[in-house]
Amino acid sequence: MSAEPRPPDFRRASAAALADGQLRANFRRAMDGLTSKRAAQFADPVEWRDLRALGAAIRARTLVRLPEHLARLEARCRENGIAVRWAETTGEANAIVLEILRRHGATRVVKGKSMVSEEMHLNDFLERNGIESLESDLGEYIIQLDGETPSHIIMPAIHKNRGQIAKLFGRRIRDAEYTEDVDALTAIARRVLRRKFFEADAGISGVNFAVAETGTLCLVENEGNGRMSTHVPPVHIALMGIEKVVPRLEDVPPLYSLLTRSATAQPITTYFNMIGGPRGPGEKDGPREVHLVILDNGRSRMHADPALQATLRCIRCGACMNHCPVYARVGGHAYEAVYPGPIGKLVTPQTEGVDRRADLLEASSLCGACGEVCPVGIPIPELIVRLRTEAAAPGGTSAVLGRGGARHRLESLAWRVWSAVLSRPRLYRAAALAATRLGRLVPAGLPPLSAWTRFRSAPRPARRSMQELADEEGIPDA
Amino acid sequence: MTDASSRPRAVYYFATCLVDLFYPEAGLSGIRLLQREGLRVVFPRGQSCCGQPAYNSGYAGEAREVARAQLRRFPGEEPVVVPSGSCAGMIRRHYPGLFAGDPDEGVARAFAGRVVELTEFLVGVLGVRLADRGSPVRVTWHPSCHALRECGVDREPTELLAQLANVTVTPLARDKECCGFGGTFAVRHPAISGAMADDKAAAVEESGAGILLSGDAGCLMNVGGRLAARGSRVATRHLAEFLWERTRER
């Protein structure tokens, strides 16, 4: 990691994003639309409360016995003819995928949408190994054409507007007539992709829910490209994180409903694929081989902590980012991480280290909008505070990567002084006296006040504190 | 929370550090609103801060000592009324965890159970009826994130405003979105916080209101500071101060 030319810096990246008026307008419009449509989906507060409680309970109890459910999933998948492989790191997962593709002499791959493949930087890895890997989800296809990464986990090209996509297609797709008509643009992408599905040697997809009791891989999508990617090529490789398992088939409907309503405000998606194994004897279609790669990539570390384990409840709906006032203003790329927004503030520092990504942990006003809409009840703000505490810890050990690495001597000294003064009544009153008499003299041009006055008039203490005024008025002290 | 059927005779008042130092009139107004209902209001001197700034910054130990000092200032069982959803939320939601395993855990839990946000107390416990004595005015209401999401205080402030005959509450666009204060967030990420404050200030101006009201001093300081920097003529006022000014007998 240290070999990277420049470490991620949310402060710098977000400043650039804030200065981009087009980007801000694109996100604001998209997020406003998504939040209002989602609100309509959950108009009944009692239904929302009950369904969310059920979703949270399913995810929480699954995680408590995660190893058991994963072992069952592996056994059932094998019975169904699905080959299961385990990867601790993204490097291992890439190697497994490459090995399967090489065995089949595959040179062309079509992909359905998969955030785990983004964690693996799979497209780059395959390209470096001489394998063409084409994204078939429309949003993913758009950003792949432009050499970008997703800016949102559900709508990867949400940072682009129609005009920008039209220009991109005109520039990058041969024989594409310039149009800003959404249907026409979709038709252009469809024309390219349709051919690729039939040429592909293998298809790669993600997994939304993996059912342990039946060994079924569920895939949620709207475009049909997921079905095409997993059904048409002779080999299908599914990628999932260890947290994607659910114990029983009956656990899927509530989670599916929470997912689609939270993500895109749809009561149900156009496609819901249930993959039960490769083509059976006498069947006329489906892949000859189905592989499942189960990735850890830091998830076991999250699982080891009883509170932080809730990070793994996530069903990747993106509602937290849609409702985040910070995300709405800076967009997904500023986070310089696979998972942007509030859930990314939990995932990224735990995966890369709370010391390395303390910048993300600080970038929250803790307004609580994310936790309020999370369909599986992840207490995101509380966990951000917990990770801040880990980052600033003076010592000791925990399962959290990079613990104590972001503790600044000056800041910790400041909090110690603050604590010493505010925990001593007489000292506090003396400080309040000083602040009310002298506070107006503090120059607004010096930090930390200068950070405040860049955008706001300087706050000035009252001439006399409330406690002084209360003394005069004889308001009872005890 | 206190049982609404058993109206207490005396309450404690925890003003919060921001109110003590920046909004003393708002704090005193809250006390006067309670006194007018016949309550004895005890305001222990030397109280300071709920500890939230350090807690949210990851300095739980430092926050705990400040919190412990508050526990000592409020002995007994009387309700503790707080003119801030953010500080009330900190105490109610986070003191039990902050003191987990600490000798003061029991005291902290009991204290958390006694804390009531001011408008919640005025409406839910006292059932106040307000008579408006002010001239017609248009205001808009900023619900603070923590009042809304940590305390569950949503309808109480607007119910109180609805009792004022000459006050028109104009809707605020995206009213439940954060104003960008977030305590130390405002100085750690000034550009993002500033952008949020600017959007909020613009929405306030577009609402057509002459006064922006909120129940949290941090939000008032933030949005008010941005409004002033924009050269806006919209005034900001803590709800407690506004309610008292309009209903006091002169």
Choose the mutation target among B22, B39, B47, B144 for the interface with A, i.e. most A CBs under 10 Å: B22
Which of the four pLDDT bands, split at 50, 70 and 90, describes residue A5?
Answer: low
Measured CA to CA, the distance from residue A336 to residue A348 in angstroms comes to 10
Q: Which amino acid is at A42?
A: F
Chain A residues lying within 8 Å of B244, measured CB to CB: none
- Residue B4 within a domain: no
Contact A368 B150 (CB under 8 A): yes
Confidence of residue A39 (pLDDT cuts 50, 70, 90): very high
Are B153 and B101 in a shared domain?
Answer: no
Task: Kindly identify which residue of chain B lies nearest to residue A413, measuring between CA atoms.
Answer: B62
Condensed to tens digits (0 to 9), the pLDDT of residues A354-377 reads 999 999 999 999 999 999 999 999
Residue A3 confidence class, pLDDT cut points 50, 70, 90: low
Does B163 map to a domain?
Answer: yes
Question: In the prediction, which pLDDT does A176 show?
Answer: 85
**B56: which chain A residues are within 8 Å (Cβ-Cβ)?**
366, 385, 388
Q: Is B186 left (phi over 0), alpha (psi -120 to 50) or beta?
A: alpha
Spell out which residues of chain B touch residue A367, defining contact as CB-CB under 8 Å: 145, 149, 177-178, 182
Residue that finishes a domain, picked among B92, B125, B158: B125
pLDDT at position A177 is 86
In a domain, B111, yes or no: yes
B213 sits in which H/E element: strand B211-214
Architecture of domain A1-41+306-407: Orthogonal Bundle (1.10)
d(CA B238, CA B220): 7
**H helices present in A80-231, as ranges:** 90-103, 115-120, 122-128, 138-145, 162-172, 182-199, 225-231
CB contact under 8 A, A455 and B68: no
Task: Give Cβ neighbours of residue B147 (< 8 Å, ≥ 6 apart).
Answer: B84, B85, B86, B88, B89, B117, B153, B154, B157, B215, B216
Instruction: Indicate the number of domains in chain B.
Output: 2
Contacts of A376 (CB under 8 A, 6+ apart): A52, A55, A56, A59, A255, A258, A313, A314, A315
- Per the CB < 8 A criterion, the answer to whether A54 and A233 are in contact is no
Give the relative orientation of helices A21-41 and A10-18 as an angle to the nearest 10 degrees.
90
- Co-location of B108 and B156 in the same domain: no
The verdict on residue B2 lying in a domain is no
Minimum-distance CB partner of A455 among B46, B149, B194: B194
Encode pLDDT of A160-189 as tens digits: 999 999 999 999 998 888 999 999 999 999
CA neighbours within 13 Å on the CB side: how many for A432?
A: 28
CA distances from A311 to A26, A346, A351, B169, B242 (A): 29, 7, 11, 40, 42
H/E stretch holding A219: strand A216-221
pLDDT score for A2 = 46
> What is the distance between the terminal CA atoms of chain A, rounded to a whole angstrom?
58
Q: How confident is the model at residue A138 (pLDDT cuts 50, 70, 90)?
A: very high
Q: How much is the mean pLDDT over chain A?
A: 95
CATH classification of the domain holding B146: 3.40.50.11810
Given a contact cutoff of 8 angstroms between Cβ atoms, the answer to whether A210 and A76 are in contact is: no
In this structure, are residues A244 and A238 in contact, taking their beta carbons and an 8 Å threshold? Answer: no
Same domain (yes/no): B80, B165? no
What would the pLDDT profile of A264-303 be if each residue is shown by its tens digit?
Answer: 999 999 999 999 999 999 999 999 999 999 999 999 999 9
Range of the domain at B178: 137-247
Size of interface A-B (CB pairs under 8 A): 208
Residue B2 has pLDDT above 50, yes or no: no
Q: Which residues of B are less than 8 Å from A396 in CB distance?
A: none
> Which DSSP letter does residue A457 get?
P
What would the mean pLDDT of B199-224 be, rounded to a whole number? 98
> B120 and B147: one domain?
no
Asked if residue B21 and residue B110 are part of one domain, the reply reads yes
Closest Cα partner for A248 from A272, A215, A277, A220? A215
Rg, C-alpha atoms of chain B: 18
For residues A178 and A170, is the Cβ–Cβ distance under 8 A?
yes
A216-221 sheet: strands from edge to edge: A245-246, A209-211, A216-221, A271-275
Check A367 against B21: CB less than 8 A apart: no
Instruction: Provide the pLDDT for residue B5.
Output: 57
**Partner-chain residue, chosen from B46, B58, B63, that has the shortest CB–CB distance to A429:** B46
pLDDT over 90 (residue A21): yes
Are residues B222 and B199 part of one domain? yes
Q: Which residue of A has its CA nearest to B63?
A: A419
What are the residue ranges spanned by the domains of chain A? 1-41+306-407, 67-297, 427-473
Inter-chain CB proximity A365 and B46 less than 8 Å: no
Band the pLDDT of B6: cuts 50, 70, 90. Answer: confident
The mean pLDDT value for B112-132 works out to 98
For residue B1, tell me if it sits in a domain: no
Is B156 among the domain residues?
A: yes
Alpha-helical (H) ranges within B116-188 are 118-120, 145-149, 155-162, 185-188
- Asked if residue A411 has pLDDT above 70, the reply is yes
Q: Kindly identify which residue of chain B lies nearest to residue A14, measuring between CA atoms.
A: B192
**Which chain A residue has the Cα nearest residue B29?**
A466
pLDDT above 90 as % of chain A? 92
pLDDT in tens, A374-408: 999 999 999 999 999 999 998 777 889 999 999 99
Rounded Cα gap, residues A185 and A223, in angstroms: 14
Residue type, A169: F
Same domain assignment for residues B101 and B182: no
What ipTM was reported for this prediction?
Answer: 0.96
Answer whether residue B61 is part of any domain.
yes
Which amino acid, residue B152?
A: G
What end-to-end distance do the CA atoms of chain B give, in Å?
34
Q: Which strand (E) or helix (H) includes residue A295?
A: strand A289-295
- From B200, which residue of chain A is nearest by alpha-carbon distance? A325
Structure confidence at residue A357 (pLDDT)? 95
Q: What confidence tens digit (pLDDT) does each residue in B55-88 have?
A: 999 999 999 999 999 999 999 999 999 999 999 9
Residue B67 lies in a domain: yes
Q: Do A368 and B63 touch (CB under 8 A)?
A: no
Token pair of A84, please?
């299961």
Question: Is B197 found in the same domain as B143?
Answer: yes
User: For chain A, what percent of residues have pLDDT higher than 70?
Assistant: 99
Give residue-wise pLDDT tens across range B24-59.
999 999 999 999 999 999 999 999 999 999 999 999
- Are both B185 and B227 inside the same structural domain? yes
pLDDT at res. A90: 98
Of the pLDDT bands very low, low, confident and very high (cuts 50, 70, 90), residue A442 is confident
Say if residue B90 is in the same domain as residue B162. no
Instruction: Give B-chain residues touching A461 at CB under 8 angstroms.
Output: 21-22
B-chain residues within 8 Å CB-CB of A389?
58-60
Q: Are residues B77 and B144 in the same domain?
A: no
Query: Domain A67-297 is of which CATH architecture?
Result: 3-Layer(aba) Sandwich (3.40)
Asked if residue B53 and residue B97 are part of one domain, the reply reads: yes
